[in-house]
Amino acid sequence: MLTDRRALLEHEIKKAHDDAAAMYLSIVISGTAVHDTEYQVLKERVASLQFDLNIVNRLLYQGRYD
């Protein structure tokens, strides 16, 4: 159960990182502020997914569930 969740989170984080990287490059090239609302939402999504992955990894490390 948690190993499947970990795989899903890792996939979602990679996708969100790729989207954020493309958006960040666009922001840098265009010279607009990095405080763009859409970019900030994506940044928060990455942070939230990473937090969830850390929790899942901790539970797996403790041997609580699998």
27-45 pLDDT, tens digit each? 888 887 767 788 889 999 9
User: Closest Cα partner for 24 from 63, 4, 16?
Assistant: 16
Look at residue 17 and tell me whether its pLDDT is greater than 80.
yes
Predicted structure pTM score: 0.82
> Does a structural domain hold residue 17?
yes
Distances in Å between the alpha carbon of 40 and those of 1, 44, 52? 31, 6, 18
- Number of structural domains, the chain? 1
> Does a structural domain hold residue 66?
no
> Does a structural domain hold residue 39?
yes
> Does a structural domain hold residue 45?
yes
Distances in Å between the alpha carbon of 35 and those of 4, 27, 29, 62, 66? 34, 9, 14, 38, 39
Domain extent for 22: 2-61
